[in-house]
C-alpha cells in the first residue's frame, strides 16, 4: 500500500513536472521579500533591526503573520502551477500521443487516466482559491483571473503563435502575486520583476518549442518556430531575453539595490547569453541544458542575491 501510494505521488509529480517550479518560485520569493521589506504600511526594515530578534510578544505576532503568508504563497504557487500543468497535459493528450517526444508522458502512456488528471486540476484550482481566501481579499478576488490566465495558455497554441507570451504572462504573476499577498497593493518594483519573468520565460519557451517545429506544423498547431522558422525564432527569443535583461537593470537602478543585486544580475544575464550560445538552428542537442539547467541557475542564483541584497545590505 505504501509503495503504491509513493508511486502514485511520483507519477503526479512527473505529470506536472514539479521540478520546473524552479523557474517561477524564486521570483515569487523575491516579490514576497519585497513585500516583507515594506511591511507593515510601507515602513522599511531589515533583519535584526526594526522587527529585531528579541522575545517581545509583538515580534512573535509579526513573524507569525509573515510565516503564515509565506506558507500560503508557496501553496498558491504549487496549486496554481500544478493545475496549469495537469490541465495542459489533459488538453494535449491526443497530440502528445502522436508526438514521439511526448508519447511517454503519463496520460498517453496510460500511467494516469485523463479524467484523473482533470479531477486533479479541479482539486488544485479549488485549493488555490481557498489559499487566496486566507491571504487577503484582493488576492481572493483576483484568483479567478490568475486561473484564467494559467489555464487558458493550454488553448492558445491552437490559434496563435504568441502562445509563448501567454505562458510567460502566467508565470509572471508570481512576483506581483506574492507582493500583493503581503502588502495588499500594487507597486512598480514587483511589476518590473513580473515583466522580467514575462520576457524571460517567453524567450526560453520559444527555444524549447524548436524541438517540435515539424510536429506542430503537421498538427496545425501554432508557435513562433512554426511561424518564422528556427533561425528567426531564435532571433525573437534573443530579443525577448534582451528585454528581460534590460528590465532587471532598470529595476536595480529604480530600487537602489546594492552590490549583491548586481552580482545576481551578472549571473542572470550570463545564463541567458550561455543558453543562446549552445542552441543553434541546426543543432538542438543541448536544448534541455539551455531550458532546465541554465534557466534554473538563472532564477535561483538571481533570487538568492536579490533577497540577500534586500535584507543584508
- Contact in structure between 174 and 31 (CB atoms under 8 Å): yes
Range 21-43 average pLDDT: 81
d(CA 163, CA 202): 9
Residue 291 maps to a domain: no
Quote the cell numbers at residue 7: 508511486
pLDDT level of residue 93 (50, 70, 90 thresholds): very high
How many structural domains is the chain composed of? 1
Q: Which of 6-20, 119-133, 264-278 has the lowest mean pLDDT?
A: 6-20
Residue 78 maps to a domain: yes
d(CA 47, CA 254): 22
Residue 72 maps to a domain: yes
d(CA 158, CA 78): 26
pTM (predicted TM-score): 0.91
d(CA 256, CA 37): 14
Interval 211-250: pLDDT, tens: 999 999 999 999 999 999 999 999 999 999 999 999 999 9
CA-wise closest residue to 168 among 224, 103, 96, 90? 224
pLDDT level of residue 39 (50, 70, 90 thresholds): low
- Contact in structure between 240 and 202 (CB atoms under 8 Å): yes
Residue 95 maps to a domain: yes
d(CA 154, CA 230): 22
Q: Where in the sequence is the domain holding 59, given as residue range(s)?
A: 51-142
Beta bridge partners of 283: 280
**Per-residue pLDDT for 73 more than 80?**
yes
Give percent above pLDDT 70 in the chain.
89
Residue 136 maps to a domain: yes
Residue 237 maps to a domain: no
Task: Determine the number of helices (DSSP H) and then strands (DSSP E) in the chain.
Answer: 14, 0
Terminus-to-terminus CA distance in the chain, angstroms?
51
Quote the cell numbers at residue 129: 482559491
Residue 171 maps to a domain: no
Which domain CATH number covers 128?
1.10.357.140
Chain mean pLDDT for the chain? 89
CA-wise closest residue to 313 among 24, 49, 29? 49
**Per-residue pLDDT for 49 more than 60?**
no
SS3 state at 81:
helix
Amino acid at each position: 500500500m505504501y509503495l503504491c501510494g509513493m508511486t502514485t505521488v511520483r507519477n503526479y509529480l512527473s505529470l506536472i513536472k514539479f521540478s520546473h517550479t524552479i523557474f517561477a518560485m524564486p521570483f515569487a520569493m523575491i516579490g514576497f521579500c519585497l513585500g516583507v521589506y515594506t511591511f507593515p504600511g510601507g515602513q522599511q526594515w531589515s533583519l535584526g533591526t526594526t522587527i529585531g530578534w528579541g522575545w517581545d510578544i509583538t515580534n512573535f505576532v509579526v513573524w507569525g503573520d509573515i510565516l503564515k503568508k509565506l506558507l500560503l504563497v508557496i501553496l498558491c504557487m504549487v496549486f496554481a502551477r500544478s493545475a496549469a500543468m495537469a490541465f495542459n497535459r489533459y488538453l494535449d493528450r491526443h497530440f502528445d500521443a502522436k508526438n514521439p517526444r511526448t508519447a511517454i508522458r503519463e496520460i498517453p502512456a496510460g500511467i494516469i487516466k485523463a479524467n484523473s488528471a482533470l479531477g486533479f486540476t479541479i482539486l488544485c484550482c479549488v485549493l488555490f482559491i481557498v489559499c487566496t481566501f486566507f491571504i487577503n481579499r484582493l488576492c481572493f478576488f483576483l484568483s479567478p483571473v490568475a486561473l484564467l490566465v494559467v489555464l487558458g495558455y493550454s488553448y492558445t497554441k491552437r490559434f496563435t503563435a504568441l502562445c509563448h507570451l501567454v505562458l510567460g504572462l502566467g508565470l509572471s504573476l508570481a512576483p506581483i502575486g506574492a507582493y500583493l499577498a503581503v502588502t495588499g497593493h500594487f507597486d512598480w518594483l514587483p511589476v518590473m520583476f513580473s515583466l522580467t519573468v514575462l520576457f524571460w520565460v517567453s524567450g526560453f519557451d520559444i527555444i524549447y518549442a524548436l524541438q517540435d517545429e515539424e510536429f506542430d506544423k503537421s498538427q496545425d498547431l501554432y508557435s513562433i518556430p512554426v511561424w518564422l522558422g528556427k533561425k528567426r525564432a531564435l532571433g525573437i527569443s534573443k530579443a525577448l531575453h534582451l528585454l528581460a535583461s534590460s528590465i532587471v537593470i532598470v529595476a536595480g537602478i529604480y530600487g537602489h539595490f546594492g552590490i549583491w543585486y548586481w552580482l545576481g544580475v551578472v549571473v542572470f544575464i550570463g545564463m541567458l547569453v550561455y543558453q543562446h550560445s549552445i542552441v543553434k538552428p541546426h543543432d538542438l542537442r543541448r536544448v534541455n541544458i539551455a531550458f532546465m539547467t541554465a534557466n534554473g541557475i538563472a532564477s535561483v542564483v538571481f533570487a538568492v542575491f536579490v533577497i540577500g541584497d534586500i535584507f543584508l545590505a
